[in-house]
A and B are shown apart, each in its own frame.
Chain A
């Protein structure tokens, strides 16, 4: 129920549609829509070729799933008209009676994948995901082209205006011409800038959407149960290393819990962070056993070596320094845990060495 509300909201925006399904089989279309929606993608189903193509023209879908035998025009024709009208859309063909010939024919006409019915939901999602990736690539390429086009046009425009300027300089008042020129120049600049901004925004939105899809996968693990909020937040904290606002808002909507309540919980428990944490976490144990063996001195030393206080993250978001009340390695007291490794009271020199090695291995996942 809730999911479809979200989708409806998204439909009304000008943002391109993720997936369009054109299939005469209403049951199949409904199931596909459900499956794809549950992964936080926007999706629309159409049962005839005309309806489908009409949707495609208005909302520019990124992936189009086409039945090979759609009423009102067979799959091949749909593919052809799609290629004309929406060249960046990625077509996927489904069919109930899969033959090698049909598959070859479909692929020849630009189909990205060929699925035989019945389609397994995991497989469907996988194909959609890959299709969306491809569509992003196509769009990027198309965008780059458009950008060069725009700058070329802009150059041409200026050149043309130069020529015009010369030709008319005798007949028309110079000031008027100059004004005209400046106006056109500004107009061109403005459009180029807007194009850049739109592209930037699009990237941000895509990032956010990927985040939300990941959160949905977590929520599904807990069956969208309200009382699993803390478990969900723990998982989010683990994969994002903090609790970003847009994700908390999303969870609030999905689980139907007021955002205020979510913030209360995020503030109460120590495991949660409302600011980004570093890629590596340094835990200084301040359990009693460590304390009596000098943990506070260890903490002072580490904090002055790193230049950050306990609870802080450095500027590059590489390291977060934290204290923890007992990690149960009392024999090593005072103990310091860096990611998954334990160290007994590291000296300044050891610490510098560890920090250096950690900074080098950029790609390693680092959650302790």
Chain B
């Protein structure tokens, strides 16, 4: 391990790193991101290594444990390079077969390839698969190529060249101009231009200055920041070092959620390795510029992702926001100028420096440039992380990349922006995705969670879910947020339980307006959006809940009841065995019924009932009350 003494040394090191990668003819890139680990990617990688060693072909074939590839729905993912053959859902038992094909060169293991449902064709290469084909992967591209725990892998694919370029001859002003010209906007949600933020901190009179990576990804249903930090931590670090150089900071922080242990581990390792090579610490690349980074673990508080709250947390206090009459870029951490950007924002910086602002500007819409990573989740066929150019339509993301809604259900809405965002109905699906367009329709870009909802998702329940989340996470410092959320939740709970009143909806709207106008921080100001947007586009559903006491989607538990359709029931006993509270009655003639008084509506029987029978059905609770003994009536029909 030799410290790099001048920017030009990096080129030599890159040559060595490339040669080292080239020593093996074939690489098996096994995704070991958190998603694929859950599917058992680690044992899979182990068995690949074992098989390769057993056959004595370790000289030509290597296994690389990479970060998240994105196509989480079909994990564990294996990509064979350089051919880019993509195997989905491989198990350790498939390993000998895969290696056989590899060594003999005879075709691929067909059953593990992507099946194009339209024409029954098997697609072998990564870029042929529709999920990848329609993306524009810039930040995520290297995730498939590198081992995140090895700095040389990152250097081999061109890593740290942007830093070398900056330190070799760019003045801080030049870097700032490049980032400002590129119009890079904050990927954490607000979309505030990063260049302006950098400049404010740079021009602030006080010293020292700090730079901070916000990896407190709190939005439920979003995990792109984690995947970057896990899969390519050096790209974030490189962006941060360039930012520190431009701003004139000598100390940086990475604030990472405690729920992301792997991301923390990889980031820590990245820091150690960067220090070893002289890319971090004193006199970076032999220049006068010194800079170091500390990792701070968050302890689980959504509001701590807000910039001023996050800085409080780093100081060791309770992570509560403060009024920002003076921005944190001027008076932040310990009252000093502090520039905070999201993981994805920092990761964009090296690309902008390498390729120029003009290249960056070619992607996206007029006011939103570059690409954006979304986590496409919920009721969608291809769950995963997708990186697309700004301006692509929601329809393209959900249907072309995501493959639409599974099980032939009907698409209902898509929720963007996490708890601060709103729902977007089908009529607006052709909307181009960028910061301003999404805000116009009552939602927002947010950090990039995109939750697809189908006909079985209840909008009242969705609004209730987010309000409940926010009421729990509100720090309680300002009244509009604390009380506004509590009252909103109360009303929504009532509506969901079938005790809604006329006038509730108007009250919800009034509360929403008040919170938006009077809350202290963005959490409270945007808290009513889930309620307001569902009210705007799905008012009818609310009215059904209030007037007819009916939840058409069958979600609000107090408005539904589970019954067994006696015509369809074959008495297989699956529901009986799975019921946690013994609410299923097995009568002598082997016909099952649900004892409504005992039922806790956990849906275990509904899930357990085999699809081919679908005998357990949800019915509106009101019908049960009318028939007084609904189960018995159905029973009698059979008898």
Question: Nearest chain-A residue to B33 (Cβ)?
Answer: A328
Interface membership of B209, Cβ < 8 A: no
Q: How far is the CB of A303 from chain B (nearest CB, A)?
A: 9
A-side contacts of B316, CB under 8 Å = 226-230
Q: Which residues of B contact A215 (CB under 8 A)?
A: none
B223, B457, B601: most-surrounded residue (chain A CB, <10 A): B223
Q: How far is the CB of A134 from chain B (nearest CB, A)?
A: 38
State how many angstroms separate the Cβ of A295 from the closest Cβ of chain B.
Answer: 10
When distances are taken between beta carbons in the complex, the residues of chain B under 8 Å from A329 are 34-35, 38, 72
- Our pick among B296, B302, B451, B601 for the contact of A325 (Cβ within 8 Å) is B302
A8 within 8 A of partner (CB): no
A301 touches B580 (CB 8 A): yes
Q: How many residues of A contact B (CB 8 A)?
A: 46
Docked-complex contact B578 and A349, CB < 8 angstroms: yes
Q: Is A297's beta carbon under 8 Å from chain B?
A: yes
A288 touches B451 (CB 8 A): yes
Q: Which of A229, A286, A342, A348 is within 8 Å of B580, CB to CB?
A: A348
Q: Which of A227, A233, A331, A348 contacts B384 (CB 8 A)?
A: A331
Pair A330/B375 contact, Cβ less than 8 Å: yes
Give the shortest distance, in Å, between B413 (CB) and chain A (any CB): 10
Closest beta carbon of chain B to A256's beta carbon, Å: 12
Q: Are A288 and B449 in contact (CB under 8 A)?
A: yes
Give B68's nearest chain A residue, CB to CB.
A328
* A293 engages B220 (CB within 8 Å): no
User: Contact at A270–B38, with CB atoms within 8 Å?
Assistant: no
Knowing A292-B379, A301-B604, A325-B220 are in contact, say whether A268-B72 is a contact too (CB < 8 A): no
Chain B's nearest CB lies how many Å from the CB of A264? 6
The distance in angstroms between the C-alpha atoms of A233 and B313, with both chains bound, is 13
Q: CB within 8 A of A331: which of B219, B258, B383, B451?
A: B383
Interface pair B72/A331, CB less than 8 Å apart: yes
A-side contacts of B400, CB under 8 Å? none
Query: Considering only CB atoms and an 8 Å cut-off, how many residues of chain B contact the other chain?
Result: 64
Question: Given A271-B300, A327-B259, A286 and B578 touching (CB < 8 A)?
Answer: no
Q: Known interface pairs A289-B378, A325-B218, A335-B38. Does A305 touch B580 (Cβ–Cβ under 8 Å)?
A: yes
Q: Is B192 an interface residue (CB 8 A)?
A: no
Q: Confirm or deny: B269 has a beta carbon within 8 angstroms of a beta carbon on chain A.
A: no
Is B602 a contact of A300 with CB atoms below 8 Å?
yes
**A292–B453 CB distance below 8 A:** yes
How distant is the Cα of A327 from the Cα of B318 in the complex, in angstroms? 23
Interface membership of B392, Cβ < 8 A? no
The A282-332 residues at the B interface (CB cut-off 8 A) are 286-289, 291-294, 296-298, 300-301, 304-305, 324-332
- Do A348 and B73 have beta carbons less than 8 Å apart? no
Chain B hits for A328, CB < 8 A: 34-35, 223, 226-227, 260, 375
CA–CA, A348 and B75, complex, Å: 25
How far is A233 from B317 in the complex, measured between Cα atoms in Å? 12
Asked whether B538 is an interface residue with its Cβ less than 8 Å from the other chain, the reply is: no
Residues of A within 8 A of B377 (CB): 288-289, 330-331, 333
Closest chain-B Cβ to A348's Cβ sits at a distance in Å of 5
Contacts of B466 in A (CB 8 A): 288
- Binary contact track B504-524/A, C-beta < 8 Å → 1, others 0: 000000000000000000000
User: Are A288 and B378 in contact, CB atoms less than 8 angstroms apart?
Assistant: yes
- B299 and A269: CB pair below 8 A? yes
With contacts A227-B315, A288-B378 taken as known, whether A234 is within 8 angstroms of B297 at the C-beta atoms is yes
Complexed CA–CA distance, A327 and B457 (Å): 21
Chain B residues within an 8 Å CB radius of A226: 316
Looking at the assembled complex, report how far the CB atom of B553 sits from the nearest CB atom of chain A, in whole angstroms: 10
Once the chains bind, are B601 and A300 in contact (CB under 8 Å)? yes
A259 at interface, CB cutoff 8 A: no
Residue of B nearest to A351 (CB): B580
Question: For window 218-235 of chain A, which residues contact chain B by CB distance below 8 Å?
Answer: 226-231, 233-234
A208 at interface (Cβ–Cβ under 8 A)?
no
* B591 contacts A by Cβ under 8 Å: no
The answer, yes or no, to whether A28 is at the interface (CB within 8 Å) is no
A293 to B302, CA, bound (A): 22
- Chain B residues with CB under 8 Å of chain A are 34-35, 37-39, 72-73, 75, 218-223, 226-227, 258-260, 296-302, 313-320, 375, 377-379, 383-384, 415, 418, 449, 451, 453, 457, 462, 465-466, 469, 475, 557, 577-581, 600-604, 607-608
Known: A325-B302, A325-B469. 7 other contacts (CB 8 A): A227-B316, A230-B297, A268-B301, A292-B457, A328-B34, A330-B221, A342-B37
Residues of A that sit less than 8 Å from B by CB: 226-231, 233-234, 264-265, 268-272, 286-289, 291-294, 296-298, 300-301, 304-305, 324-333, 335, 342, 345, 347-349
